[in-house]
Chains A and B, each alone.
Chain A
Amino acid sequence: MARYVIKRLVYAVLTLFVLITLVFFMMRMLPGDPFLGEKAISPTALANMNAKYGLDKPVFIQYLMYMGNCLTGDLGMSITYNRPVMEIVSESFLVSADLGIRALIFATIAGILLGAVAAIKRGTVWDSLSMFIAMIGVSVPSFILGAVLQYFLGLQLRKVLGMNIFPIQGWGTFKHTLLPAFALGLGSLATVSRLMRTSMLDVLSSDYIKTARSKGLSQSQILWRHALRNAVMPVVTIMGPTVASVLTGTFVIESIFNIPGLGKYFVTSIKDLDYTMIGGTVVFYGALLIVCTLVVDLLYGLIDPRVKLED
C-alpha cells in the first residue's frame, strides 16, 4: 500500500513536470506578448516591464527559471493583476471548490439514488422518469441549462412570486449556489445514474442476491446490505473523471452566473496572454486532478476487498 502510494506520487511529479514544460512552450508559441494590448508604451517602459518579469532573457533560460521557481512553490507574479499568482489562485479556488463540491455531492447522491430506483423499479414509470432525466442531463450542455434555469427559475418565477428565490447571478449566500450547482451537476448526475442503473440490474440478477433471498432477508435488507455496495463500485471508478468534468465545467458556469471563481481567471488569463497566470492555473488544475484520481483509486481499494493496491 505505502509502496503503491509512493509510486503514484513519483508518477504524479513526472506528469506535472511534463505538463509545466508543455504549457510553458505552448504559451510562448502563441503570437503576441502580454503588453500588446496596452496603448502606446514607450520602448524604455516596455524594456523595463520585460526586464521586471524576466521576459528579456532567452526563452530556455526563462524556462529554467520558471521551473526553479515552481520547485520552491513560487508561481510568479500575475502580469495583468500585478499580484502573486498563488494568492489569486488560493483566493478564487475556494469559491470554485465550494461550487464544485456542492455540484459533485448533488450529482453523486442523486445519481446513485435515481439509478438504483430505476433498476429496482425496472420497466415502471419510475424507471422511465429516471432515464428521461438522465437523457436530458447527458444531452443538454451546462451553459444552455444554466441559461434556461436563469430565465425560468430566476426571472419568470420572480415575476410570478414577487420574490427572489433563485438569484441568477453573483455569489455569497446559499441561495446563490442553487442554480449554478444544479446546472453544473446535472451532466454528471446523468452519467452516474445511467451507470448505476446498469450495474444495479447486474447485481440484482447475480447469484449472491439469490443466496441472500434464500436466507430469508427482506427486499430492503437485500438492497441495503448486499446490492448497494456492490452496485456502487463502477460509480466509484468513474469518480476521478467525474471530478475532472465538474471542475472544468466550473469555467463555463462561473462566467454565466458571474461567480468570482478560478474558472474566470483561467479563461481571461489566456485572452490576456498573462504567462504566469496561465502557467499557474494549469499547474494548479493539473495537480488537483492528479490528486483526485489518486484518492479515488485508494478509495476503490477500501470499498472492494478484492482490489489489491500493489505495484
Chain B
Amino acid sequence: MAERVLTIEGLRVSFDTYAGEVQAVRGVTLHVDEGEVLAIVGESGCGKSVTAQTIMKLNPMPPARIVDGSINLAGHDIVKASDKEMQKIRGNEVAMIFQDPMTCMNPTTQVGKQIVESLKLHKHLSGAEAKAEAIRCLEQVRIPNPEERAKQYPHEFSGGMRQRAMIAMALSCNPKLLIADEPTTALDVTIQAQIMELLAELKDKINTAIILITHDLGVVAGIADRVAVMYAGKVVETGTTDEIFYEHKHPYTEALLHSLPSTDQGKREPLMSIPGTPPDLLAPPKGCGFAARCRHCMQICKEEQPPEFELSAGHKASCWLLHPDCPSAEERGAK
C-alpha cells in the first residue's frame, strides 16, 4: 500500500477584499498517495490554483485566509505550521513549478546558482557538492551541456529549457510532492508533450507524487492516475482517469469533456462550449454552483447543495441526479 502524502479535508479558503469575502475554495477534500499523479481540472477561477498554493501557504495571508479544514502533508499540519516551519517544508517536502517559465526565474542569477540555493538550504551541502548536484539535476531533466548551462542566465534559455530547469530546481531536494500549476500552458504543443513525458519519467524514477493543475484534458489523459474536477471552489467529481473520461456522472464533467474538439467531428460543426460563466464567489449560490449553466437543472439544485455520492470505491460525484429518488430523464422531460 502506497504511503499517503497529502490529505486535505474540508478546506475553505477566502480572500478578504474591499468588496467583501471571496470564497475561493469552499470545502475541498482531496488526497494524494506516493508516486501518484492527481490532476485537478476546471475552468479559470474555480479555485484550482488557490487550493494548490494553500498547500504551500504561498498565497499571501492576508488577504487570503484559511477559514476551515485541515491539510496534512507528509505528517505536517500545514494549517497550524508557523512561517519557520513552512520554510523547512517548502522546497524540501513539497515543491512547485509554475505556469510561465519565462518569468519564474530570477533574471539576474545564474540558473545553476538558483538550484544550488535550494540544495544548500535543505540538504546542507557544501558549495562544491551543491554545484555538482545541481549539474546532475540539470542533466536529469535532459538539458544538454549541463556544466555550461548552469553558468548561464535564464534569458539564455528557451521556454522549454527554462521549464526543464524549473523542474530540476523543484525536484532537486527530492520532495514528496510536486505541484505543477499549469506547467505547459505557456509552451507550444511539441514542447508540452516533451515536458509531460519528462514529468512522467521523473515521477517513476524518484517516486514523487504530483498534483497537476490544468485545464487541458489531453494532458490529463496522458499522465494522470486520478482526476478531481473542480467547479466554483468545490470538487464536483473525483475518480480514476478512466472513470472520469468514460463513466463520469456529473453534468459539468460531461460538459467539459464535450468541449474537447475531436478528430471525428465534422469540419463545419461548431465547437461545443458551456454557455454562461462560473458564479460570483463573492456571493456563492445557495444550491449547486453549476445549476445556472446545467441543462439537467432541477428545482432542488437551486435550493440545496448536492451531497457527495460514492459511485464506486474512490469515484465520487456531487449531483442531485445521483440521488436515488431522482426522477429519470424521461420523467423530467429532458431534452
Contact = CB atoms under 8 A, between A and B. Distances in A.
Interface of A: 206-208, 210-219, 225-226, 229-230, 303-306
A149 B92 CA distance: 55
Interface residues of B, number: 30
Contacts of B83: 219
Q: Which 9 A-B pairs have the closest CB atoms?
A: A216-B91, A216-B90, A215-B91, A207-B103, A305-B153, A214-B96, A208-B106, A207-B104, A216-B87
Contacts of A225: 109, 117
Contact of B155 (A208, A217, A306): A306
A211 B155 contact: no
Nearest to A306: B155
A229 B169 contact: no
Nearest to A226: B106
B155 A213 contact: no
Contacts of B87: 216-218
A306 B153 CA distance: 8
A255 to B, nearest CB: 42
A306 B107 CA distance: 8
Contacts, number: 72
Interface string B51-62: 000001010000
A208 B56 CA distance: 16
A212 B58 CA distance: 11
A115 to B, nearest CB: 18
A296 B103 CA distance: 26
Contacts of B118: 215-216
Given A216-B121, A306-B155, A211 B105 contact: yes
A211 B89 contact: no
Contact of B108 (A211, A215, A218, A305): A305
A200 to B, nearest CB: 14
Contact of B98 (A211, A215, A219, A306): A211
Nearest to A210: B58
Q: Is the interface of A mostly helix, strand, loop or mixed?
A: helix
Given A207-B103, A305-B155, A306-B155, A214 B91 contact: yes
A206 B98 CA distance: 12
Given A215-B95, A215-B117, A216-B90, 6 more contacts: A211-B96, A214-B58, A214-B170, A216-B86, A304-B107, A306-B107
Interface of B: 56, 58, 83, 86-92, 95-96, 98, 100, 103-109, 117-118, 121-122, 153, 155, 166, 169-170
Contacts of A305: 107-108, 153, 155
A208 B107 contact: yes
Contact of B109 (A207, A210, A226): A226
A216 B76 CA distance: 15
A288 B142 CA distance: 51
Contacts of A213: 58, 90
A216 B122 CA distance: 8
11 contacts: A208-B107, A213-B58, A214-B58, A214-B170, A215-B118, A216-B87, A216-B121, A217-B121, A230-B108, A304-B108, A306-B107
A206 B83 CA distance: 20
A214 B108 contact: no
Nearest to B107: A306
A214 B99 CA distance: 14
A220 to B, nearest CB: 11
Contacts of B122: 216
A218 B85 CA distance: 11
A263 B30 CA distance: 72
A148 B39 CA distance: 67
A57 B98 CA distance: 75
A43 to B, nearest CB: 70
Nearest to A232: B108
Contacts of B103: 206-208
Nearest to B119: A215
Nearest to B179: A214
A216 B92 contact: yes
Q: Residue among B83, B86, B106 with the most chain A CB within 10 A?
A: B106
A214 B106 contact: no
Contacts of B86: 216
Contacts of B170: 214
A215 B100 contact: no
Contact of A212 (B89, B106, B153, B166): B106
Contacts of A216: 86-92, 118, 121-122
Nearest to B170: A214
B182 to A, nearest CB: 12
A210 B170 CA distance: 13
Contacts of A230: 106-108
